[in-house]
Structure 1
Amino acid sequence: MTETVKVDIWSDVACPWCFIGKRRFETAAAEFAEGGGALEVEYHSFELAPDTPVDFDGTEVDFLVGHKGMAPAQVESMLAQMTELGATEGLSYDFHALQHTNTVKAHELLHYAKSQGRQLDMKERLLSAYFAEGRHVGRIDDLADLAAEIGLDRAEVVEALKSEQFLADVQADKDQAIAYGISGVPFFVIDKKFGVSGAQDPSVFIEVLQKAASGE
């Protein structure tokens, strides 16, 4: 296998399934690489709740009760199950510390990071900050701090986010998702030929990656 397989991933920072899907895909990618496969991975913007305020006044339970119309006890149970599921992938979800927010600026930052060749590192940092560390990922200063932690220029990040330099790229990703018929994330598009919806088992990704690499 000499051809590089391109994988485009639509994902939201505020999506616990996206973090689990990232880990499962990475497991598959490692196995694919061991077999001689080569991958190019790019993340694309998708906002699950674009109307969310930057400073949401309430807990994650409060948000989901309002957003999904579920009972508080049902939400608590769902988050407990998600925490357990995340742990099976080595993720330490802390929904009690989580600060729910609008993610459009985080998506702008991911496009900035892509321009610097650091998108994958930035994606990992944002997901960990949001789900495991209780960090705020909706405000410019907080995002700039996180970017600086992976070695990006903090002042440049602040300027890029204030000027909305990458907002059009975020919108283009969202438009492409609509064109593909993507209604939920994570969603993986392999070589622009195969679509994989959801945080599937690594074996599912392996099968599709090998199919793409073989030119089927």
Structure 2
Amino acid sequence: MTDQPAAESTTTITLHLWLDVVCPWCYIAKRRVQAAIGLFERPHDVTLVTRSWELHPDLQPGTGGPVDHDARVPGESVAPGEQRVRIEEAAVDHEIRFEWARAVRANTFDAHRLCALALELGGPALQSAMVERCFAAHFTEGLALDDHDVLQRISAEAGLDERRVAAVLASDDYAANVRADEEAGRRLGATRVPFLVANRTASASDLQSVEDYLGVLREVVTESA
């Protein structure tokens, strides 16, 4: 990737980050992308939008048990028991706390519907707050993200209108948004998350470093110039 962008470019960059709110690598990726935006020469020209992806689409709500976070590291093969160590090492600079014993498996479809609602109500900033609240609820507080009472409460804490949230949870609203995100990700080449696309001209699969994500931003500017 090119090290420096064109000095006078005014390119507006939209980053689309596919993630699931029960994916630890996605949690870290979101924080790293945000850090890269902060280091970018024109951070105010960058918008980050998160897109839906389900790790457990067939899991029935309310049936989840303890989470096994000793699964494969994206792009690597690791010995059993090493996964949590890898995750915690990757998260150390990003103020993320994992309470492994408390996390429970959950179907995240309704959580993603509410993240889509947040994007409509308050744009990327409110959506980001909702995504972060979901991550914390799952990884730190041990809350089930397929429990409607939980979703109602954490949505309000993130800043969403409680009546709109209740209406969405009582309906199929924003289901099409979730499905459209997942289909768009597959069309762009996603087979797992995190998956980042910038202005549909540059992308990054799996977890990357802050410097790599910064390189994606600069690549978009260079190509547009």
TM-score category (smaller protein): 0.7 to 0.9
SS at match of 1:7: strand
1:192 match: 200
d(CA) in 2 for partners of 1:150, 1:57: 24
Give the aligned partner of residue 130 of structure 2: 122
The answer to whether the Cα contact below 8 Å between 1:189 and 1:195 also exists between their aligned partners in 2 is yes
Give the TM-score normalised by structure 1: 0.88
SS, match of residue 99 in structure 1: coil
CA-atom RMSD in angstroms: 2.1
Q: State the Cα deviation string for residues 138-187 of structure 1 (Å, max 9, x = none).
A: 12221110010122111210111221110011011111112112101010
Residue 8 in 1 paired to residue 16 in 2?
Answer: yes
Asked whether the 8 Å contact 1:7–1:191 carries over to 2, the reply is yes
Q: Give the TM-score taking structure 2 as reference length.
A: 0.84
Structure having the higher helix fraction is 1
Counterpart of 2:199 in structure 1: which amino acid?
A: D
Q: Which runs of 5+ in 2 are unaligned?
A: 1-8, 73-78
Identity of aligned residues (%): 29
The one of 34, 44, 47 equivalent to 1:40 is: 47
Secondary structure at 1:110's aligned position in 2? helix
What residue is the counterpart of 1:99 in the other structure? 104
Tell me if 1:173 matches 2:181: yes
Q: Distance in 1 between matches of 2:214 and 2:115?
A: 26
Aligned residue identity for 2:62:
D
1:1-216 equivalence runs, <5 A:
1-32=9-40, 34-35=41-42, 38-61=45-68, 75-117=80-122, 118-214=126-222, 215=224
Q: 8 Å contact 1:86–1:93 — kept in the other structure?
A: no
Post-superposition CA distance 1:14-51 (Å, at most 9, x none): 1110001111111111001x556610111111111211
Q: Is the 8 A contact 2:156 2:162 kept in 1?
A: yes
Aligned CA distance change for structure 1 residues 176 and 167 (closer, same or farther; 3 Å): same
Greater than 3 Å deviation, 4+ residue runs: 34-37, 64-67, 74-77
Distance 2:71 2:39 in 1: 41
Distance in 1 separating the partners of 2:165 and 2:71:
33
Corresponding residue SS for 2:105: coil
